[in-house]
Structure 1
Amino acid sequence: MEPGGRSKTDDVQRLLRADILNGVWAPGTKLRFTELRERYRCSTGVVREALPRLVGEGLVTAEPQLGFRVVTVSPEDLRDLTEARILLETMVLRSSIEQGDLAWETRLVAAHHLLANLPRRTADGSPSLEWLSAHSAFHAALGGGCGNGRMKTIVNSLRDSAEIYRCWTAKDDRALTRDVEAEHRTILEAALRRDADAAVAALTDHIQRSTDLLLHSQRQPAGTGLDGRAGGDGS
């Protein structure tokens, strides 16, 4: 175990996840054990433990007899993912608003406070993994009042699958003009005043804007990425 209770597998998972989200390993890239061992200075056993965790997060795929690859991405997949997220995530949010108690409100406010006080980008301009973690926690907290555990698990899995797209969107300079903080605040305030219709509308807009931004970038001459080439943007 590493200091603080982390294992070597935890560290390799964290580093590999960061490299996938920041484009070191491009979509569709085969993840070869030899290269992973050398880059992360670990054993084959550690790599074998870390990769299935990333499969669970929707960032890596496992192919029988062929090994592991970074997930492939496409405009069609993004549209399908967005449709599924809006349908299910808003359903869970509505249920959460109807069922959530004071403890749910407290967790939600705390999650938003952390998110609102973190920068979206690091000093070198890459997506902040700390912000991404807080962002996922805030969205999970929105649905935390829902009593259907299976629905929440599905929603969280879909959101994990959107991480690679979200990181690409963050690389687009147009994303800097988007007031994401205000979008989060609007969703939060509607949820706290138990206005389910307003909260659902705000969450739908929030998810769709990220998708529209990425798809618009793909229509520009310099837009790449959703066909598996490096340099794309996404949500």
Structure 2
Amino acid sequence: MASGSSTRGEKVYQRIKADLVGGTFQPGSKLPSAMLTERYGASASVIREGLSRLVEQGLVRSEPQQGYRVAPISIADLEDLVTARCVIEIQALKLSIEHGDLAWESSLVAVHHALERTPLDLADYASSRNEPWTVVHRKFHEVLLEGCPSKRLISVAIALRDSGELYRRWSQPADEGDIRPVAEEHRLITQAALDRDVTSACQLLEEHIRLTARSITARARAEGFMDLSAAVHDHEPAAAR
């Protein structure tokens, strides 16, 4: 029974997390227990357990006497997040390249091939039409780090990347002049990793992370939003309305 409850709790946790990262719930919005128990068909205790785990990952906030809400997004937090990612994720990549074996290389080649073959609408980066690409993109960045022998480091890196996904999901569509050669960025990172060029791979990944943050920050400042949560209402996904 305990094993079954654990499995059920894990499934609910993963569903809530997927919805958060996928942009179903608006940043800063409340997460009422009644709504969540109905949506996920789970008990209040299972929901609380899942939310507690998401609080630890920074995707949800717990407020005394008020319950839970989706983590708000802001320029200040984005800048802090990028700093943390560039420390943790780059170190994980360094160790991954140093320790990754032939199986890791093969997995990286395969997932990069899939990423290149999956369509991406760069003019509407956060569109639901890009969901298949988003899934493969996440897997690509996970595989990059799989050669790292520190599972704790990988876990922290993935949690930080999930927080970054909240910003990508709620960012405005890019103007034509803002469109980046994302496919080329991924190709260069992959090649440097396969060549075991630690310096180049880490520099390329850091620039890849920082470019996304700069794009979001520049647009938010241009539109007068320092608290990015105030900017999401005009392009809220249909599932969250």
Q: TM tier, shorter chain?
A: 0.7 to 0.9
For the aligned residue pairs, the C-alpha RMSD in angstroms reads: 3.1
How far apart are the structure 2 equivalents of 1:16 and 1:89?
Answer: 20
- From the superposition, tell whether residues 189 and 230 of structure 1 become closer, same or farther in structure 2 (CA, over 3 Å): same
2:75–2:226 CA contact under 8 A, matched in 1 = no
Partner SS for 2:115: helix
Partner SS for 1:28: coil
How far apart are the structure 2 equivalents of 1:232 and 1:83?
Answer: 28
- From the superposition, tell whether residues 97 and 226 of structure 1 become closer, same or farther in structure 2 (CA, over 3 Å): same
2:12–2:40 CA contact under 8 A, matched in 1 = no
Matched, 1:102 2:102: yes
The one-letter code sitting in structure 1 at the alignment partner of 2:15 is R
- From the superposition, tell whether residues 16 and 85 of structure 1 become closer, same or farther in structure 2 (CA, over 3 Å): closer
The one-letter code sitting in structure 2 at the alignment partner of 1:105 is E
Gaps of 5+ in 2: 1-6, 236-241
Matched, 1:174 2:166: no
Aligned residues with identical type, % of pairs: 37
CA positional deviation for 1:59: 2.4
2:19–2:25 CA contact under 8 A, matched in 1 = no
CA positional deviation for 1:159: 1.1
The one-letter code sitting in structure 1 at the alignment partner of 2:29 is T
Select 2:232's aligned residue among 225, 230, 233: 230
Residues 84-131 of structure 1, C-alpha deviations (whole Å, 9 max, x = no match): 111221111112112211111011112222222223459x93363433
How far apart are the structure 1 equivalents of 2:17 and 2:201?
Answer: 35
1:58–1:160 CA contact under 8 A, matched in 2 = no
Aligned residue runs from structure 1 range 20-169, under 5 A:
21-22=22-23, 24-38=24-38, 40=39, 42-45=41-44, 47-48=47-48, 50-52=50-52, 54-55=54-55, 57-120=57-120, 125-126=127-128, 128-169=130-171
CA positional deviation for 1:82: 0.3
CA positional deviation for 1:8: 9.4
- From the superposition, tell whether residues 130 and 179 of structure 1 become closer, same or farther in structure 2 (CA, over 3 Å): same
How far apart are the structure 2 equivalents of 1:211 and 1:97?
Answer: 25
Name the structure 2 match of 1:18.
Answer: 19
How far apart are the structure 2 equivalents of 1:51 and 1:93?
Answer: 29
How far apart are the structure 1 equivalents of 2:139 and 2:14?
Answer: 18
Name the structure 1 match of 2:202.
Answer: 200
The one-letter code sitting in structure 1 at the alignment partner of 2:184 is A
- Highest relative contact order (Cα 8 Å, sep 6+), 1 or 2? 2
2:26–2:70 CA contact under 8 A, matched in 1 = yes
How far apart are the structure 2 equivalents of 1:148 and 1:11?
Answer: 27
1:9–1:47 CA contact under 8 A, matched in 2 = no
CA positional deviation for 1:21: 3.6
1:9–1:49 CA contact under 8 A, matched in 2 = no
Gaps of 5+ in 1: 1-5
The one-letter code sitting in structure 2 at the alignment partner of 1:185 is R
1:74–1:228 CA contact under 8 A, matched in 2 = no
* TM-score, scaled relative to structure 1: 0.79
The one-letter code sitting in structure 1 at the alignment partner of 2:210 is Q
Of the structure 1 ranges 71-80 and 135-144, higher mean CA displacement relative to structure 2 is found in 135-144
CA positional deviation for 1:36: 3.2
Matched, 1:212 2:211: no
Structure richer in helix, relative to its length: 2
1:96–1:145 CA contact under 8 A, matched in 2 = yes
CA positional deviation for 1:217: 0.5
Partner SS for 1:128: helix
